[in-house]
Amino acid sequence: MPEIFDIIIIGGGPAGLTAGIYASRARMKTLILNEGTVGGQLVLTHEIANYPGVESTSGFQLGNIMKKQALAFGCKIKSNIQVTAFEYSANPKMVEINGNEQFFGRSVILAPGGEPRMIHVPGEAEFKGRGVSYCATCDGDFFTGKDIVVVGGGNSALEEAVSLTKYARNVAIVHQFDQFQAFPYAVEEAKANPRIKFYMESQVRNIFGDDSVKQVEIEHLPTGDKTMLAVDGIFIFIGYVAKTQGFEKCVHLNDRGEIIVGTEMQTNVPGVFAAGDSIAKRYRQVTTAVADGTIAALSAIEYLRTN
Amino acid sequence: MLQTNLTHILTASGHQKLIEENENVMICCGRMGPMCIPVYGIMEDLEPEYPHVKFADMEFDNPESHPIRNAPECKGFMGIPFTVYYRNGKLVKATSSIQSMPQVKSILDAQFDKKQQ
């Protein structure tokens, strides 16, 4: 007879870890299954200065403390796994990992989080780490004195473009719309920077190179005109997408692929809850993920008490 | 020193000693950054599964990491971490930037034959 958990949590970011802390502290037999490294997108953040009660810390440190808390309360965690199948409408609910190991739970909390959105053009995957980057802080210094492209029009894109001018000789911002979505202060700072040029209503179509990136092809959307830019790198900051591929088979998603939940973080499937960046909501912060995880865990505990 | 549970390499001579004394070696050379931390986590998780491989890390900003940063196999790399794989002291594979568990496992399985241990 396989081991049956009270609560299986899919995802080990702030939402999943918080749910794990609350559930295991309530003496629920709890298992977190996490596809990446524990901490999720939290570890993408070098400094967190707006997490209440903590003056300043790194995302890595905060995530590690959350993990320790969950483990201390008896939560089991399996990281770097791949969820290969699931059946959430059954009772108990089943999650299969790595194609060969099945876990069963009386309830499930979905907290898979999000991942950086890619532009999906030829050359993007081929040149990842050879000129294509998603992290200015990590890779900016490789582009000292070089020319680069930044893709995006939100706060991250504009702030990182300005930050990259510390290293790069010239930065070209490519944005698909005629206006930026970033806050006015970020737009003003970018526009005031003499090293930044703007390609509005444009999209990257191809990335070319040999050992590393050498050229980027840009299309001006209103005219269809294509321009080749000789650059050494391309940084992509076009937001995040919910990691819910395949979930449409079991829970209701909106048109952006985000899980639709009620106020108690319940999905349309009894006993299945969701939390964090993968749910349909407006604000995505560590604090909101933690709040979602708390509510989802308490709701799952209540569900198990009454069912 | 990197905040991982891996073996830390601190000097170029330590790097040389490690690859000489171990037939199969995987080293992740990076920082405590978002592209690097996931690779360290993967390596920590794989250590029990691959006892015939020595897993280690090295700080990218440590000047002593030059044997990795300047390796010909890392030419053109513009993203950390630089992850390098050695067999019998020879660099047999190198990757740049973040890697997934399946990507790392496929390299380990291709480069390091368990049967030879």
pLDDT digits (tens, 9 = 90+) for B80-112: 999 999 999 999 999 999 999 999 999 999 999
- For residue A253, give both structure tokens: 């998603």
- Distance, in angstroms, between A257 CA and closest chain B CA? 23
Q: Which of A236, A258, A283 is the last residue of a domain?
A: A236
The verdict on residue B2 lying in a domain is no
pLDDT band at B117 (very low <50, low <70, confident <90, very high): very low
Check A129 against B77: CB less than 8 A apart: yes
- For residue B17, give both structure tokens: 């000693």
The domain in which residue A92 lies consists of 4-116+240-306
β-bridge partners, B9: B58
The verdict on residue B116 lying in a domain is no
The verdict on residue A125 lying in a domain is no
Q: Which of A197, A217, A236 is the last residue of a domain?
A: A236
The verdict on residue B31 lying in a domain is yes
pLDDT at B115: 53
- For residue B71, give both structure tokens: 């390796």
- Distance, in angstroms, between A132 CA and closest chain B CA? 8
Mean pLDDT score across all residues of chain A: 95
Do A108 and A246 reside in the same domain of the chain? yes
Among the residue ranges A92-101, A287-296, B67-76, B106-115, the one predicted with the least confidence is: B106-115
Write the burial class of residue A16 (CB in 10 Å: 0-12 exposed, 13-18 middle, 19+ buried). buried
For A210-268, write each residue's pLDDT tens digit.
999 999 999 999 999 999 999 999 999 998 899 999 999 899 999 999 999 999 999 99
Asked if residues A75 and A23 have their Cβ atoms less than 8 Å apart, the reply is: yes
Dihedral sign for Cα atoms in the order B41, A109, A84, A118: negative
For A159-201, write each residue's pLDDT tens digit.
999 999 999 999 999 999 999 999 999 999 999 999 999 999 9
Mean pLDDT of A264-281: 97
Report the residue from A43, A143, A212 with minimal CB separation from B76: A212
- By C-alpha distance, the chain A residue nearest B2 is A60
Mean pLDDT score across all residues of chain B: 94
Asked if residues A258 and A239 have their Cβ atoms less than 8 Å apart, the reply is: no
Nearest-5° Cα angle at A83, A77 to A88? 95
% of residues, chain B, pLDDT over 70: 97
Report the residue from B33, B41, B42 with minimal CB separation from A135: B33
pLDDT at B106: 95
CA–chain centroid gap for A174, Å, is: 22
Asked if residues B104 and B42 have their Cβ atoms less than 8 Å apart, the reply is: yes
d(CA A299, CA A220) in angstroms, rounded, equals 49
d(CA B72, CA B74) in angstroms, rounded, equals 5
The verdict on residue B33 lying in a domain is yes
Dihedral sign for Cα atoms in the order B92, B35, A122, B102: positive
Q: Would you say residue A44 has pLDDT above 50?
A: yes
Q: How far does chain B reach from its first CA to its final CA, in angstroms?
A: 31
Do A49 and A112 reside in the same domain of the chain? yes
Among the residue ranges A46-55, A209-218, B5-14, the one predicted with the least confidence is: A46-55
Report the residue from B76, B79, B101 with minimal CB separation from A139: B79
In chain B, how many domains are there?
1
- For residue A177, give both structure tokens: 């719309």
CATH number at residue B35: 3.40.30.10
Name the pTM for this structure.
0.85
β-bridge partners, A30: A7
Who wins on pLDDT, A211 or B17?
B17
Check A130 against B77: CB less than 8 A apart: yes
CATH number at residue A84: 3.50.50.60
What are A's interface residues with B at a Cβ cutoff of 8 A?
36-39, 43-46, 58-60, 79-82, 128-135, 137-139, 142-143, 210-213, 232-233
Assess whether A138 carries a catalytic annotation.
yes
- By C-alpha distance, the chain A residue nearest B83 is A129
Mean pLDDT of A32-42: 90
pLDDT at A240: 87
The verdict on residue B69 lying in a domain is yes
The domain in which residue B57 lies consists of 7-111
Q: What is the ipTM of this complex?
A: 0.81
Query: How is residue A40 annotated by DSSP?
Result: G
Could you say which residues from 17 to 76 on chain B have a Cβ atom under 8 Å away from some Cβ of chain A? 31-38, 40-42, 45, 75-76
% of residues, chain B, pLDDT over 90: 91
For A10-30, write each residue's pLDDT tens digit.
999 999 999 999 999 999 999
Give, in order, the Cα–Cα distances in Å from B36 to each of A65, A76, B3, B31, B97.
19, 24, 11, 6, 7
d(CA B54, CA B25) in angstroms, rounded, equals 5
- For residue B104, give both structure tokens: 């790392």
Check A39 against B37: CB less than 8 A apart: yes
Do A228 and A245 reside in the same domain of the chain? no
Write the burial class of residue A239 (CB in 10 Å: 0-12 exposed, 13-18 middle, 19+ buried). middle
Asked if residues A32 and A77 have their Cβ atoms less than 8 Å apart, the reply is: yes
Do A16 and A44 reside in the same domain of the chain? yes
Among the residue ranges A15-19, A283-287, B6-10, the one predicted with the least confidence is: A283-287
pLDDT at A189: 96
The verdict on residue A55 lying in a domain is yes
Question: Which of A42, A45, A133, A138 should we substitute to test contact with B (largest number of B Cβ atoms within 10 Å)?
Answer: A138
pLDDT band at A48 (very low <50, low <70, confident <90, very high): confident
Report the residue from A36, A37, A211 with minimal CB separation from B76: A211
Assess whether A75 carries a catalytic annotation.
no
Check B37 against A46: CB less than 8 A apart: no
Asked if residues A95 and A105 have their Cβ atoms less than 8 Å apart, the reply is: yes
One DSSP character per residue, A95-149 reads EEETTTEEEEEEEEEE---EEEPP---TTTTTTBTTTEES-HHHHGGGGTT-EEE
Task: With H, G, I as helix, E, B as strand and everything else as coil, classify residue A304.
Answer: helix
Does the N-terminal peptide bond of residue A92 adopt cis geometry, omega within 30 degrees of 0? yes
Q: B71, B73, B68, B83: which is closest to B35 by C-alpha?
A: B83
d(CA A199, CA A149) in angstroms, rounded, equals 10
The verdict on residue A126 lying in a domain is no
Query: How is residue A260 annotated by DSSP?
Result: P
In chain A, how many domains are there?
2
Assess whether A139 carries a catalytic annotation.
yes
β-bridge partners, A110: A10, A274
β-bridge partners, A50: none
pLDDT at A268: 97
